[in-house]
Structure formats: structure tokens, C-alpha cells
Chains A and B, each alone.
Chain A
Amino acid sequence: MPESISFIEHFQIWLRAFLILSLFSFLYKDNVFYKFSEHIFAGLSAGYYVGLIWQTVIIQQLVNPMFDEGHYELIIPGMLGVLMFARLVPKWSWVSRVSLAFVIGNTAGIYLISSIHGFVFPQIWSTMVSLGSPDGFHMSLISLILVVGVISTLIYFYFSKEHKGALGLTARLGVWFIMIAFGAHFGYTVMGRISLLIGRVEFLFYQWGGSLKQIF
């Protein structure tokens, strides 16, 4: 933190510290400071979002290209957007389905391609590994674990036959792989949440503490 900061910067730091401590106070019990901060967050977010979309989408992508550059074809997506508001009038709400149909069709097409091309094929290819790796025994072992893990997990999600005998054993092995994956996710999640806490405590300790030191 700099040696000397302005009054405005002090005010910003104190406001942030107040909101952080108000939100943390919920850990003790629900209270009016927590509710106050929560409502400020919800209200500010909504207002900021509306302003941002208005400027970056409505003005930049619709109004300016239409009236400054003569792209009058943009009236079509503009109208489709306006039709969405028909949902607010029960009698005319069916009109919004035209826009929804466009959005659903478009989204399905885009996501289908990106899912198959970007997720399904590359992930399948990457599980087609050689078990006799030229990089040594440990790589062969990793490849074997990968193949067994993929097959046993897929079998766990095969529900057309009762999980008995060899199928049941493989499915149970699949459960072990899933549990290990959950464990890894949980470990990372703990690390992530603690990191967020560290970030806020660091702010309180270094910046708010620094501001306190400068004032008093």
C-alpha cells in the first residue's frame, strides 16, 4: 500500500471493508448488516447489467450500425428481441415463441457442432491410447488406468442390464473411479474457497489495516 493515499481512496477502502465484514457477519448469525450488503449487491448488479447491455448491445450492435452505417437489415433481430417482451402480456405471450424458436434453433445448431467437434471427438481420440507406451512402464500403467477407468465408468452408467456378475464388478470399479474424481473435485473446491477467503482477509489486513494505520 502506498505511503499516502487520498480521502477518496480511504473512503473506498472503508466501504469495501464495511461490506466484507457485513457479509462475513452472517457466519455468526443472520443480521441486518448482512441483509443490507446483500441487497446492495443485488441492486447494483442488476443496474450495472442493464446499463452494460444497453450500451454494448443495443447501442453498439443495433442502433449505431442501423442509423450511422445504414445496416437496416438489423431491424429483423431487433424486432425478434422486441417480440420477447410479448411474454409480459398474457394475451400476446405466444408471439414471443417466434423469437424463442429462433434462439433455440440457433443455439442447438451452434452447440451441437462445438460439442461434437470440440468435446466428443477429441475426448474419444485421447482415450485411444497405446497400452505398450514407448515412454516406459509408468506411461503404459497410466494408459491402462485411463482405459480401465473410462470403460468401467461408462459401464456404471449403462442401465439396460442389471449390474450383476462381471457387469456388476466392473460397474463397482467404475464407482471407485467416480469417487476418486469427486475427491479430487472436493479437494480443489476446498482450495478454491480458502483462496477466496485469503483474498478478502489479505485486503482487510494489508489495505484496510494500512488505511487504519495512516488515519490513526
Chain B
Amino acid sequence: MNFWQRISFIDRRWIYLLVALSVLFPMIVPMQCPVGISPEARQLFEAIDSLPDGSKVMLTFDYYPSTIAETEPMSIVALRHMFSKDMKVVTLSNIPLGGPSIAERVTRDIATEFGKTYGIDYVNLGYKAGYVAVMHGLASSIERIFPSDYTGTPLRELPLMQHVENYRDLEFILAVADNATVDYWISIVNAQYDIPVGAGVTAVVAPKMYSFLEAGQLTGLLGGMKGAAEYEKLFKREADATRGMGSQSIVHLLIIFFVVLGNLGFFIHKEKQNK
């Protein structure tokens, strides 16, 4: 059995081990990877940055705990950006498993960092089933859909919510999502109620978003961990996503190497068979 035949039958667990070591290497030997800024990430940053200080915005936590490596850094840096401009932030989640508690933890931590007060500077609405109905319902009355917040406090007792009745009172919506809910923030909320919507999505969802971006239905886009790292760089506060880019780059190089090696092996083996 020659080299090319041997690599065709290599135990896949060796590849898993190499990938794991590649991810681990930059954590043991810290390395700085340059992060280029894409136009879509810059567009999102500038859209939020250009809002007047004290604007009222909505930030959604439409993601499961399984994808927090990609999505949570987006929520964190966006929230930091919003709080640094004294914006009033309303958060909610259309994801039952994990979404509301992630929103609660992230908003509480970042609010503490910026000295913000719950109910005055930010409110976490929590989760409500049936996101299409929820998105339509919020257009007429947020209180009708969410009579109380995540902790059970009636909305009418929260000072911020006395100034936010529906979408018309919001300047911008940033949908951070790992699933199809972002499609409906665009097709329902942006298209039917004319509210600017930006998106931070997982890398798996990102390619689909480019058609919305090109059509002007989205105001900026963050795609995966790279998108989060771009936002961190634009905000000049590098954190988890930027730190992960070292591992990301090494594993990508490894995968490219495997793809080239696999294809070479395939064609050489095929040519030998033809002979």
C-alpha cells in the first residue's frame, strides 16, 4: 500500500486529534491574527454609531446555547457599543432553550460594567412562543405580547417601557440569531413596519443574508465569529471573538491542506487505476 492509498484509509480520529491540537495551539502559544474589516460589518457598526445618544433600540437573543461561541461575542460587543452611547436597550428572545437566560446574563454583566439600571436603561422581555405572531404583535403593542418582563415584573411598572409602546418608538433592531427568525425580522418587521434591521448571525446562516444585504433589506451584517471579531475591532475592544481567530485561522489552513491532499490522493489513485 503506497502513501496515497494509506491516506485514503486513514482513521478519521487522527484528523479529529489534529484539529483539536490546532485549536489548542494558539491558546498555549498566544498569537495575534490580523482581522480585516468587511464592508457589511462596518455598515452595521456605523448604523449603530450614527444613532443619536440615548436612542431606543432592540437587541434580540435568538440563539441557542450551542452557538454562543459565535453569537454571544456579537451580543456583548453590540451591547457595549449601545451602552457606551447611553442607548436604551430592549432585549427579547424568540428561542425557548437558553435564549432568555443568555439575554439575562449578558445584559446584567454588561449593564454592571457600564453602571446601567434595569428598567431605566434596559429591559429584558424574555421569551414568548410563536415568533411570527410575536413580531406582528409587537407592532401594535409590546405590552399586549409581553405583559411582564423576564422576571415577571409588569411592563407598566418599568420606566423605560412607558416610552416604548411598539416598533415606532425604536430607532434600530439588531437581530442576533442562529436560525430562521432573522428572516422574519427582515420580511415582517423591516418590510412591513419599515424599521431598520441589522443582523448578527452564525456563519452557517450568513451566506443567505447577503441577498438581503444587497437588496437593502438589512442594515449591516456580522457573519460568525469573524463578524464578531470585526465588530470588536471597530469598537476598539478586542475580546473573545478576536482571541478565537488564531485557532480559526490555523484550523482553516489545516482543512485546506486536507482538502488539497485528499483531492491529490483521489486523482493520483484514479490515474493509476486507469493505467
Asked if A28 and B13 make an inter-chain contact with CB atoms under 8 angstroms apart, the answer reads yes
Asked if A199 and B129 make an inter-chain contact with CB atoms under 8 angstroms apart, the answer reads no
> Which partner residue on chain A sits nearest B254 by CB separation?
A194
Asked if B190 and A118 make an inter-chain contact with CB atoms under 8 angstroms apart, the answer reads yes
Known: A185-B207, A198-B23. 17 other contacts (CB 8 A): A56-B129, A110-B133, A114-B191, A114-B192, A115-B187, A118-B190, A118-B191, A188-B203, A188-B206, A189-B204, A190-B255, A194-B19, A195-B225, A195-B248, A198-B69, A198-B244, A202-B243
Chief secondary structure at chain B's binding surface: helix
C-alpha spacing A194/B226, complex, angstroms = 11
Asked if B70 and A196 make an inter-chain contact with CB atoms under 8 angstroms apart, the answer reads yes
Asked if A201 and B248 make an inter-chain contact with CB atoms under 8 angstroms apart, the answer reads no
Asked if A117 and B187 make an inter-chain contact with CB atoms under 8 angstroms apart, the answer reads yes
Chief secondary structure at chain A's binding surface: helix
Asked if B207 and A188 make an inter-chain contact with CB atoms under 8 angstroms apart, the answer reads yes
Give a binary string over B48-84; 1 marks a CB under 8 Å from any A CB, 0 the rest. 0000000000000000001111100000000000000
Asked if B203 and A52 make an inter-chain contact with CB atoms under 8 angstroms apart, the answer reads no
Chain B positions within 8 Å of A, measured between CB atoms, are 13, 16, 19-20, 23-24, 27, 66-70, 96-97, 100, 126-129, 132-133, 136, 147-148, 183-184, 186-188, 190-192, 202-204, 206-207, 211-212, 214-217, 223-226, 240, 243-244, 247-248, 251-252, 255
* A48 contacts across to B, CB distance below 8 A: 96-97
Please classify how large the interface on chain A is, using the bins under 10, 10 to 19, 20 to 34, 35 or more: 35 or more
C-alpha spacing A108/B240, complex, angstroms = 42
Q: Would you call A27 an interface residue if the criterion is a C-beta within 8 Å of the partner chain's C-beta atoms?
A: yes
Max chain A C-beta neighbours (<10 A), residue from B20, B126, B202, B226? B202
* A194 contacts across to B, CB distance below 8 A: 19, 23, 247-248, 251-252, 255
Q: Would you call A65 an interface residue if the criterion is a C-beta within 8 Å of the partner chain's C-beta atoms?
A: yes
C-alpha spacing A194/B258, complex, angstroms = 15
* B206 contacts across to A, CB distance below 8 A: 188
Asked if B215 and A123 make an inter-chain contact with CB atoms under 8 angstroms apart, the answer reads yes
* A192 contacts across to B, CB distance below 8 A: 67, 70, 202-204, 224
Asked if A191 and B129 make an inter-chain contact with CB atoms under 8 angstroms apart, the answer reads no
Asked if A181 and B190 make an inter-chain contact with CB atoms under 8 angstroms apart, the answer reads no
> Which partner residue on chain A sits nearest B251 by CB separation?
A194
A102 CB → nearest B CB, Å:
13
Q: Given A110-B136, A184-B207 in contact, is the A205-B24 Cβ separation under 8 Å?
A: yes
